[in-house]
Amino acid sequence: MNGLIGKKLGMTRLFVGDGSAVPVTVILAGPNRVAQVKTPARDGYSAVVLGFGAKFHGNRPERGVAAQSGTETAFKLLREFPLDAGEELAAGDDVTLELFQPGQTVSVTGTSKGRGFSGVMKRHGFGGGRKTHGCLTPRSAGSIGSAADPSRVVPGKKMAGHYGAERVTVKNLEVVDVRPEYGVILVRGAVPGPNGGLLELRKN
């Protein structure tokens, strides 16, 4: 198996052997419970569905999935991970941080921070218009289409709108340290989302 579910705790720094300070993100990726097992005979492929966290107001289908693994409350997040050849897991088993080792690289996926409704300069990095000669809207997008042909705004035009709160993956982050006694993994650099946000960690 190549991944786990975790929760971002925050950022700090770690002093490594040569005395340099390394910025790291602390991720709580304690035991993940195997909620379901996908088999080639029934599903056509081998994979497991891992659950993380507790969702105390889950609906009946969510509670039913949790019950298969012997958990009373629904899981806050469920994610599917493929199984390696010859690897066997059963519903109710726990997957721990032993999956990761310092020095290897991982990809971290999460939901970025929401920035609300933002203009084109903040959302897309536009340079803005002139701030002289009577220009009243130096932060506007300017012209967004042509007049006669095609007489419309083309699809995909970069405009103001909702910024952030989208699925983002940061690849090739180095695992600086793994501390199973605390259930945390420390990866070099920043990862998407706020403190407390849920993340997916996958080995590269």
Express each pLDDT in 19-64 by its tens digit. Answer: 899 999 999 997 899 999 999 999 999 999 999 999 888 899 999 9
With beta carbons less than 8 A apart as the criterion, state whether 8 and 199 touch.
Answer: yes
What is the helix (H) or strand (E) element at residue 171, kind and residue range? strand 167-179
CA angle 170-171-173, nearest 5°?
95
Burial class (CB in 10 A: 0-12, 13-18, 19+), 188: middle
- pTM, two decimals, is 0.85
% of the chain beyond a pLDDT of 90: 76
Average pLDDT, the chain: 93
pLDDT value, residue 28: 96
pLDDT value, residue 110: 97
pLDDT band (50, 70, 90) for residue 15 = very high
What is the helix (H) or strand (E) element at residue 64, kind and residue range? helix 60-68
* Structure tokens that stand for 140 in this block: 């506007």
pLDDT band (50, 70, 90) for residue 145 = confident
Contacts of residue 6, defined as CB under 8 A and 6 or more positions apart, other chains included, come to 27, 28, 29, 52, 185, 198, 199, 200, 201
What whole-number distance in Å separates Cα of residue 197 and Cα of residue 193?
A: 6
pLDDT digits (tens, 9 = 90+) for 81-93: 999 887 889 999 9
pLDDT value, residue 140: 93
pLDDT band (50, 70, 90) for residue 147 = confident
pLDDT digits (tens, 9 = 90+) for 171-194: 999 999 999 999 999 999 999 999
Is a pLDDT exceeding 90 seen at residue 164?
yes
Best mean pLDDT range from 76-90, 128-142, 159-173: 159-173
Which whole number is the average pLDDT over 125-145? 91
Contacts of residue 16, defined as CB under 8 A and 6 or more positions apart, other chains included, come to 22, 176
With beta carbons less than 8 A apart as the criterion, state whether 167 and 92 touch.
Answer: no
pLDDT band (50, 70, 90) for residue 72 = confident
Contacts of residue 110, defined as CB under 8 A and 6 or more positions apart, other chains included, come to 8, 167, 168, 191, 192, 193, 197, 198, 199, 200
Which whole number is the average pLDDT over 129-146? 90
pLDDT value, residue 169: 97
